[in-house]
Amino acid sequence: MRRGSLDSPARKAHTMLPTRSRISVLVFLLPPLLVYGAAVLFPILQSLVLSFFSWNGIGDMEFVGLANYVHMLTHDDVFWRSFLNALGYLAICLVLQLGGALVVASLLLSLRRGRELVKTLYLLPAVISTVAIAFLFERIYSIDPVGLLNQVLSWVGLGSLERPWLSDVNTVLAAVSAPEGWRFTGLYMLIIYAALLAVPRELEEAAILDGASRWQLFTKIRFPYIRPVWITTTIMATTYGLRGFDIPYLMTNGGPGQSSELVTTYMYKTAFTSTDYGYASTISVFIVAECLVAVGLIVFMLRRKADA
Amino acid sequence: MITHPAPATTPAVRTAAPRPAPAAPRPRRRARPAAYRTLSRLLVVIIVVAQVYPLAWLFITSLRTEQDFASGNPFALPSALTLDNYARAFAVGNLGQNILNSFIVTMGANLLIVVLGMMAAYAIQVLGFRLSKLVRGIFLMGIIVPVQIALVPLFIDYSKIGLLDTYQSMIVPLAGFALPMSVYLFSSFFEYIPRETYEAASLDGAGPYRIFGLITLPLSLNTVVTVVLVNSIFIWNDFIFANTFVLTEGLKTIPLGLQNYIGTMGKTDWTATFAAVCVTVTPLLLVFLVLNKAMIQGLESGATKG
């Protein structure tokens, strides 16, 4: 601080070190920026450029202006179908991940012992690869030989619901979404649990003394307190949900028909099966835009509620 | 799977907790929470069983005989235990090679993520510069960028410069997309290193490089563990980059290798497949079980700080 005062005021505010050279900043900053630029920033720009071209990877690139975007938004039924599917997939993931996480985290608070064990067990599915999870759920959903889900249904007297979950067009979307939700509940539960632990005890006790019910305690004290963390986890879960790809791609490859096609799997097939790089880039630009809009909406909605 | 017990909790929370009379809050509050606690304990058990059962079933299936698996109740305990499936799993695929490849990719990407993430956070948070806020923002933006955006451009670039079908083709994007979170975690940790620590070191004549090596690096070992563990899970299991950029058998990582078990002839050898899954999950699972306390703590503090 005392030495820093010799510097310009602007610099004093930025740095924690009394002495540091401009070169040292570059030495530390350039390598990470290079890798980040090469893997993330530059490809984003490339995709943006490619989205205005028609290109099959071999011939000449042909500039088509906004034609790809116009086609995607006005003529491509598969795209819209996959977009609606992606929203359904997202909804199921959010309910399972955030809803499940909040419920389990709240329950965990009332346990005296075994919290660590529950946390570890609950996080376990996050360690398993999506390929393994796809195998596992293929067996859970199967009807011949009868899988876990159909077996449970027939035991509890809901045998009429038994079906091949992955080849039924009405259930396939839910069937490919559930594993993704299941996989990461533990992660979000941990984060929310930690946030709930940080709610000051005095605040809760004061509310109880004032006659607050458990429900009021939750809605009036705990939830407002963890709202910033809730925003973070909602953003995480939403952006992960929107980029969900592995499990639908592996289990059904978007089928039967387009009933479990997501924007991501559609983009992947457009790029690497139809080798339509231009149009695939258009779709991937859409995926990024979708994520940005979603984050904007979440921040807008949850912040506004906090102010109200 | 978890939703079934979930809706029941809201009414339970409501009914189990009538408002205690303000005059005598103590005794009433003792009695009710006991019932509430039993109920929630039961719910936790049900939820955890539903959560973990599929994994237990996977493991049990890997020890069943093929006939036992094909004919019969999926919930039944195996009539006989066998390790044949594991023998077949190793005979069919390239499990050894797949595991080695996954190790190389995970190590390489983690090294980049930790070293580069720490360097960027150090430049932004400790050294500081005029545009540091902007650079930090550019890094943080990466947290929400979906990986799909990079697939086509990287595929094109890689085939131009001959990087397609190499370890680097997986390591670079895996590291690049994980860097934002790493920068975020390191820079939120660096905020907590008091300015006086740096001032004292500076007075002793240490420059930015020595301070990085002698103070910042050793202090952030806990964050390093968190970053490595969390990223290892994602990298070890990465499917999309490997599936896009790897073309030959010899470079296939575990997720791709597992796909070999899906029957090319129409019939899948499920028990061997599950044996292979168990083998490939084991390394990560062991690390996770040994270090899960460190990881859980890191995750909790990392997320709640933000």
Instruction: Determine the residue of chain B that is closest to A15 in CA distance.
Output: B128
| A134, B190, B215 from B193: Cα distances, Å | 44, 5, 9
Q: Residue B65 above 50 pLDDT?
A: yes
Q: Residue B57 above 90 pLDDT?
A: no
Q: Where are the domains of chain B?
A: 6-87, 92-305
pLDDT of residue A4: 40
Contact (Cβ atoms closer than 8 angstroms) between residue B281 and residue A158: no
CATH class of B92-305: mainly alpha
Quote the Cα angle for B277-B281-B284, to 5°: 170
Amino acid found at A308: A
Q: What is the pLDDT of residues A231-260, one digit of tens each?
A: 889 988 998 899 899 999 998 888 788 888
Give the A:B interface size as CB pairs under 8 Å. 344
Best CA proximity match to A268, nearest among A289, A290, A244, A291:
A244
The ipTM is 0.85
Best CA proximity match to B2, nearest among B35, B61, B49:
B49
Contact assignment for B285 to A15 by CB distance below 8 Å: no
d(CA A222, CA A195): 9
Tell me what the pLDDT averaged over chain B comes to. 81
d(CA B176, CA A34): 9
Cβ-based neighbours of B227, under 8 Å, separated by 6 or more: B110, B113, B114, B117, B181, B182, B185, B186, B298
Q: What is the pLDDT of residues B83-129, one digit of tens each?
A: 888 888 888 778 889 999 999 999 999 999 999 999 999 999 888 88
From the list B130, B176, B195, the residue facing A10 with the nearest CB is: B130
Cis peptide before A228 (omega within 30 of 0): no
Contacts of A110 in chain B (CB under 8 A): 33, 36-37, 40-41
| A28, B191, B216, B229 from B188: Cα distances, Å | 17, 5, 13, 18
Judged by average pLDDT, the poorest of A286-300, B43-57, B163-177 is: B43-57
Residue A38's SS3 state is helix
Mean pLDDT within A63-84 = 91
Q: What is the pLDDT of residues B248-285, one digit of tens each?
A: 888 999 999 888 777 654 567 788 888 888 988 888 88
Give the gap in angstroms from C-alpha A182 to the nearest C-alpha of chain B.
7
pLDDT of residue B268: 73
d(CA A98, CA B115): 32
Mean pLDDT within A135-160 = 81
What is the 3-state secondary structure of B196-237? HHHHHHHHCCCCHHHHHHHHHHHHCHHHHHHHHHHHHHHHHC
End-to-end CA distance of chain B: 30
Contact (Cβ atoms closer than 8 angstroms) between residue B103 and residue B111: no
Q: Which domains does chain A possess?
A: 76-142+170-307 (1.10.3720.10)
Return the top range by mean pLDDT from B38-47, B67-76, B144-153, B196-205: B144-153
Residue A298's SS3 state is helix
